[in-house]
Amino acid sequence: MQLMPDEIIVFTIGGFGFNETIVYTWVVMAILTGSSIIITRNLRPDVPPNRWRTALEVIVTVIQGQIEDIARHASRHVLYFSGTLFLFIATSNLLLVVPGFSPPTASLSTTAALALSVLIAVPLFGISTKGLGGYLKSYTQPSVIMLPFNIISEFSWGLSLSIRLYGNVMSGAVIAGILLGLAPFFFPVVMDALGLLTGLIQAYIFAVLATVYISLATTKPGEPIKKEQS
């Protein structure tokens, strides 16, 4: 039984095998990029928005509102980062209902890469807000004794992010396989609906946690909440 799409080679070029994780990651990227280009190709004030543009604007507005509720520094860079994470994970999970599609988020290598991107983004956001010295000083708060514990904590939540997302996706796939074997005519509809719901929830939780970590890294002690004016 193959549990991970990393094990399935789709095609080989120059002796290098491209597995399902790589191929379907490209598919998701192509869908998101192509959709955004098509929807925003006539993005001008004198052109009335169509239903797709309206839907995209609603999605962006909702994501921005969630970030402003969480982050003390409601930077648009946080919107670009966390919003991209949400759209990629949500699209990957929603495409699970397409026959033959294997979501890249079902691979531990993908979820680890997503967690690594958050792990790298957090100090970058922190340094851009506090400066290098100010950010490094946060590792010694409230006492220098906490330095090793703060470092271990930062890496541990990055690991937990990847394992949590991978475990959720894989558990859903395994349960779906079991139910399909028991009742192949009834459970596919139920599992498709459940997959759509859990896929959105997983994407939302991952993006929210990333935003929380960034907010913690960019907030100075005792600093009031300041939202970006749009």
pLDDT tens sequence across 30-79: 999 998 888 887 777 776 777 888 888 888 888 888 888 877 665 678 88
Model confidence over 160-179: pLDDT tens digits? Answer: 777 777 666 665 555 555 65
Model confidence over 74-128: pLDDT tens digits? Answer: 567 888 898 899 999 999 888 877 777 888 887 878 888 888 888 888 888 888 8
pLDDT (0 to 100) of residue 32 = 92
pLDDT band at 28, cuts 50/70/90? very high
Nearest Cα to Cα of residue 217 among 113, 130, 115: 130
Query: What is the end-to-end Cα distance of the chain in Å, rounded?
Result: 51
Would you say the pTM of this structure is higher than 0.85? Answer: no
Dist CA 95 CA 23 (whole Å)? 14
Domain ranges of the chain: 5-218
